[in-house]
C-alpha cells in the first residue's frame, strides 16, 4: 500500500541516503494512486526488488490533467522573462543534484552511473537551458494585408501528456 509519506531509500555515489517519495506528484503534492494501486520496480541489472511505487489509474490521470490545465492558465500568462528564469532555476536544481539524479537513474533505468553523469544529465541540462533561452525570444509577426494589418501572437498551446519509449535524456 502506498501513501503520500511512502518513500524509497537509495544510496548515492557518496553512500548518502536519498529518500524518494513513491506517491504520484499531482497538484504540487505527493498522493497515493486511486485505490492505493501500486507497481513494483526492479533493478534491471539484477532483477532485485527496488521499490513499490504508486501506479496511476485513470482517475489519477484525470486529476493530473485538471491540475495541469489550472497551472497552464498561470503559465500562459506568466511573462516570458519569468518563464525563462523558472526553467533556468529548474536546470540549476538539476545541476545541483546531478549526482543524486544519476544514482536514481542508474538504479531505476539500468543506465551506467557514468553515462548518466556524463551524458544524460548534461543533455537534460542543455535542453532546459536551450528552451529557457527561447522563452522570451519567440515573437509573432505583423503582416501587411489589403486595407490593414494582421498579426500573429505565439503563445503556449496547452497541456499535453506523452508516454515515451526511451529514458534519455531523463
Placement of cell 517519495 in the chain:
21
DSSP state, residue 32: P
Indicate the length of the chain as a whole number. Answer: 170
Summarised one tens digit per residue, pLDDT across range 111-137 is: 888 999 999 999 999 999 999 999 888
Residue numbers of the chain with a pLDDT score lower than 50:
1-4
DSSP state, residue 165: S
Q: Pick the closest to residue 10 from 130, 99, 143 (CA basis).
A: 99
Q: How many CA atoms lie within 13 A of 5 on its CB side?
A: 0
The answer for 133, left when phi > 0, alpha when psi is -120 to 50, beta otherwise, is: alpha
**How big is the chain by its Cα radius of gyration, in Å?**
20
| pTM of the predicted model over 0.75 | yes
Domain boundaries for CATH 3.40.605.10 within the chain: 78-170
Question: Domain spanning 78-170: which CATH class is it, in words?
Answer: alpha beta
Amino acid at each position: 500500500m502506498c501513501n503520500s509519506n511512502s518513500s524509497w531509500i537509495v544510496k548515492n555515489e557518496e553512500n548518502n541516503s536519498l529518500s524518494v517519495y513513491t506517491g504520484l506528484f499531482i497538484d504540487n503534492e505527493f498522493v497515493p494512486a486511486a485505490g492505493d494501486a501500486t507497481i513494483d520496480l526492479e533493478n534491471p541489472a539484477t532483477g532485485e526488488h527496488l521499490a513499490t511505487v504508486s501506479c496511476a489509474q485513470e482517475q489519477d490521470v484525470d486529476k493530473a490533467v485538471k491540475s495541469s490545465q489550472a497551472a497552464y492558465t498561470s503559465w500562459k500568462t506568466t511573462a516570458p522573462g519569468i518563464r525563462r528564469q523558472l526553467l533556468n532555476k529548474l536546470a540549476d536544481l538539476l545541476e545541483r543534484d546531478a549526482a543524486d539524479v544519476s544514482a536514481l537513474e542508474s538504479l531505476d533505468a539500468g543506465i551506467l552511473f557514468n553515462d548518466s553523469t556524463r551524458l544524460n544529465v548534461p543533455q537534460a541540462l542543455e535542453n532546459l537551458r536551450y528552451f529557457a533561452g527561447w522563452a522570451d525570444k519567440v515573437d509573432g509577426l505583423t503582416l501587411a494585408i489589403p486595407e490593414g494589418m494582421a498579426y500573429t501572437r505565439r503563445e503556449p498551446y496547452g497541456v499535453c501528456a506523452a508516454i515515451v519509449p526511451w529514458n534519455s535524456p531523463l
